[in-house]
């Protein structure tokens, strides 16, 4: 049996049937990571000892009669979720020596459900990027074509799951950083509603936009993970105290009567026409399952990128001010005074993209520019939210492409940050509005994966998972694996 080809749901059934133990599965995957990851660079740290002790504990719990869907299930965490006693680097030199003194709530919840942590995954530095090329630990490569990017910032998570090194991973999504890499690597990735998953212990980039979520091969696996990750957390002031739906029960609902909205703004200039064809093929498949389709408009979408690239850097400039070489993290050699310590520790510790965004954000928040930039961006954000609220009066989900283009070549957009920012055109509106979004596999163009995005009203993650699951029952895109892995 090829254990690495199993989904989380299949692993749960196999563990329950005693076809193999969690320890056997974990050691098999750890060996695979050591053998194959040098090609991909998807892991920053491998946590072998922790993994084997968690796997052994899961086996003991099963032997004692416990059963849980995630008991003994292996996964890995994006390297901005704090993990006690293990390096948590955020893909940055400035945190290369930082070992978190506690576990993030997401890590804690998944561990309580019995998952086995195999390691920490590579990412764009401080989650800033759409290609996973800004990491201090080097770029991650796309397993579908090693000369291309896997997307970002959760590129390590996406590449590791796509290459069958792990069945699932955690990611975070500030402007599309779960959904975009999921699309470029043939995965299902879910950004929950803002506040649905605790941000405590998740190192912040832009606090009003960041949201943790799962990356896996199927909607069913994402449902299993979200069930364990979601919930109110008293330690996170932005966490929402709202009951968690039964996401697995939602999967099997028929789609008869589902109203799908197609925004005309998604299909204009800038979208690769071959991706547009794949999107329309998904629409046809969903119609056969009983859905109806309606053309809609999101008129303020055109302002999303400028608004996002004022708000996110402004919050980053504030959040990243704590990395000053004083309390933890990287410190420059032999500073002459305090000012020198700050300047050189930050100058040497942060990479180019992070510095660029800190500068933009500090400028937007400075006296005389706050009203012109930051305040205006927040007003646009409200208009974008209102567009979605109005649209969801007429439709149940909104459907469109996840990305305007296929995975691009490594290095291709490094000299043009704005071209890279435009790759997030379809995903960032969900973060600005706080609504949930999901990307699912929808086929291939020239051997490269294409993703389709679904958006739903607040706290309707179950609906997104339901639509994706029903689509995955009649297609097999999500089962395709990159050759060589």
Catalytic residues: 78, 153, 177
Helix 219-229, helix 105-112: angle, nearest 10: 110
Q: Which token pair is 409?
A: 């070549």
303: DSSP letter: G
- For 418, what's the count of Cα atoms within 13 Å in the CB-facing half-sphere? 1
CB of 131 within 8 A of CB of 155?
Answer: yes
Of the chain, the end-to-end C-alpha distance in Å amounts to 15
Q: Length of the chain, please? A: 485
Distance CA 352, CA 354 (A): 6
* Helix or strand run (H / E) with residue 400: strand 397-401
Distance CA 153, CA 421 (A): 12
* Helix or strand run (H / E) with residue 343: helix 338-349
Residue 329 zone, left/alpha/beta (φ > 0; ψ -120 to 50; rest) = left
Distance CA 230, CA 193 (A): 10
Distance CA 330, CA 136 (A): 13
Closest CA to 81 of 52, 130, 44: 44
Distance CA 179, CA 468 (A): 13
Helix 48-63, helix 22-40: angle, nearest 10: 150
406: DSSP letter: P
Distance CA 485, CA 220 (A): 22
Cis omega (within 30 of 0) on the bond before 475? Answer: no
Q: Which token pair is 4?
A: 């690495």
User: Which residues sit opposite 262 in a β-bridge?
Assistant: 295
Strand order in the sheet with 437-445: 43-46, 116-121, 74-78, 168-172, 212-216, 188-191, 437-445, 448-455, 397-401, 259-263, 292-296
Q: Which token pair is 422?
A: 């435009």
């Amino acid at each position: 049996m090829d254990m690495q080809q199993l989904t989380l749901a299949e692993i749960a059934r196999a563990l329950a049937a005693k076809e193999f133990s969690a320890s056997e599965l974990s050691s098999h995957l750890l060996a695979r990571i050591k053998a194959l990851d040098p090609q991909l660079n998807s892991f920053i740290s491998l946590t072998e000892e922790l993994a084997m002790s968690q796997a052994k504990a899961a086996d003991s719990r099963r032997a004692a009669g416990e059963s849980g869907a995630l008991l003994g299930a292996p996964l890995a965490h994006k390297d901005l979720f704090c993990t006690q006693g293990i390096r948590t680097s955020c893909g940055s030199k400035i945190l290369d020596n930082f070992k978190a003194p506690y576990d993030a709530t997401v890590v804690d919840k998944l561990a309580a459900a019995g998952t086995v942590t195999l390691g920490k995954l590579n990412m764009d530095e401080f989650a800033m990027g759409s290609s996973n090329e800004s990491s201090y630990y080097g770029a991650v490569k796309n397993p579908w074509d090693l000369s291309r990017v896997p997307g970002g910032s959760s590129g390590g998570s996406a590449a590791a799951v796509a290459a069958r090194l792990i069945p699932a991973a955690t990611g975070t999504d500030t402007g599309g950083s779960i959904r975009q890499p999921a699309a470029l690597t043939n995965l299902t990735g879910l950004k929950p509603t803002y506040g649905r998953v605790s941000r405590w212990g998740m190192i912040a980039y832009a606090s009003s936009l960041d949201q943790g979520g799962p990356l896996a091969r199927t909607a069913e696996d994402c449902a299993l993970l979200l069930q364990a990750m979601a919930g109110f957390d008293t330690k996170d002031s932005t966490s929402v105290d709202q009951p968690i739906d039964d996401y697995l029960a939602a999967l099997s609902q028929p789609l008869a009567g589902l109203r799908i909205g197609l925004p005309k703004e998604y299909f204009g200039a800038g979208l690769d026409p071959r991706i547009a064809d794949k999107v329309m093929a998904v629409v046809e498949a969903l119609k056969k399952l009983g859905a109806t389709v309606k053309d809609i408009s999101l008129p303020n979408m055109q302002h999303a990128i400028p608004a996002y690239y004022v708000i996110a850097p402004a919050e980053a400039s504030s959040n990243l001010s704590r990395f000053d070489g004083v309390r933890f993290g990287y410190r420059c050699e032999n500073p002459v005074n305090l000012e020198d310590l700050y300047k050189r520790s930050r100058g040497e510790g942060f990479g180019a993209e992070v510095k660029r965004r800190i500068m933009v954000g500090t400028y937007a928040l400075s006296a005389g520019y706050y009203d012109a930039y930051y305040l205006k961006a927040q007003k646009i954000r409200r208009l974008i939210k209102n567009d979605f609220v109005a649209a969801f009066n007429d439709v149940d989900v909104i459907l469109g492409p996840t990305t305007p283009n296929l995975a691009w070549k490594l290095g291709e957009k490094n000299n043009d940050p704005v071209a890279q920012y435009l790759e997030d055109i379809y995903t960032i509106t969900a973060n600005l509005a706080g609504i949930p979004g999901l990307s699912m596999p929808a086929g291939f163009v020239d051997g490269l994966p294409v993703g389709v995005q679904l958006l739903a009203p607040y706290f309707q993650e179950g609906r997104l998972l339901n639509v994706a699951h029903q689509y995955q029952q009649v297609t097999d895109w999500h089962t395709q694996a990159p050759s060589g892995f």
